[in-house]
Amino acid sequence: MAKVRLLDFASEASELRALRMCVLYLGLDTAKSLYPGDENAVHIGAFDDAGILIGIASLFRREDGSLQLRGMATSAEARGTGAGRDIVRFAEAYAIENQLPRLWCNARVAAMGFYEKCGWRIEGSEFEVPDIGAHYVMLSTADEKTVANG
């Protein structure tokens, strides 16, 4: 099981950006690994037993009161270990604890199965992100489950 915690962007940005580049933007301009608003976002990291960063995600508060999950990535070695799921659960708990009931992401088509296994649902139609590919907006249902079980 991965250890998941908040990252300090000021001191851990280089590790975060390196994993973004390696997993999400390989072969593209390194500027893609720095998102507008990164300095004010909440960054989540998953670490293996040796303390190596193996997974990341960032949470951005949007003007409509929602919370967007961006830059979700796990290293190739960590895939299938549950690290990604642990990051998503951490993000969902953060959203609920901070009374931000709408947690969503722009999911690559290739990652949709992962989010569906985490209980997320598709919202809307497929759209294209230049240089990256087809995406869907996906919405966490964690808050709905909390209310139903509450």
DSSP states of 90-120: HHHHHHHHTT---EEEEEEGGGHHHHHHTT-
Q: By residue range, what is the domain housing residue 75?
A: 3-149
Residue 17 belongs to domain with CATH number: 3.40.630.30
For the chain, give the mean pLDDT. Answer: 93
Average pLDDT score over residue span 81-85: 95
pLDDT at residue number 146? 47
Q: Is the pLDDT of residue 111 over 90?
A: yes
pLDDT band at 29 (very low <50, low <70, confident <90, very high): very high
pTM of the model: 0.92
What digits encode the pLDDT tens for the residues 31-43? 999 999 999 999 9
State the DSSP H helix or E strand holding residue 9, giving kind and residue range, or none if neither: helix 9-24
| Number of domains within the chain | 1
φ, ψ of residue 12 to 5 degrees: the values are -120, 15
Classify each residue of 17-30 as buried b or exposed e, where b means 16 or more C-beta atoms within 10 Å of its C-beta: bebbbebbbeeeee
Alpha-carbon dihedral sign for residues 112, 114, 116, 118: negative
CA 74 vs CA 43, 86, 138: distances in Å: 14, 11, 18
Q: Look at residue 148 in the predicted model and tell me its pLDDT.
A: 42
The tokens for 133 are: 């590919």
- pLDDT computed for residue 145 by the predictor: 53
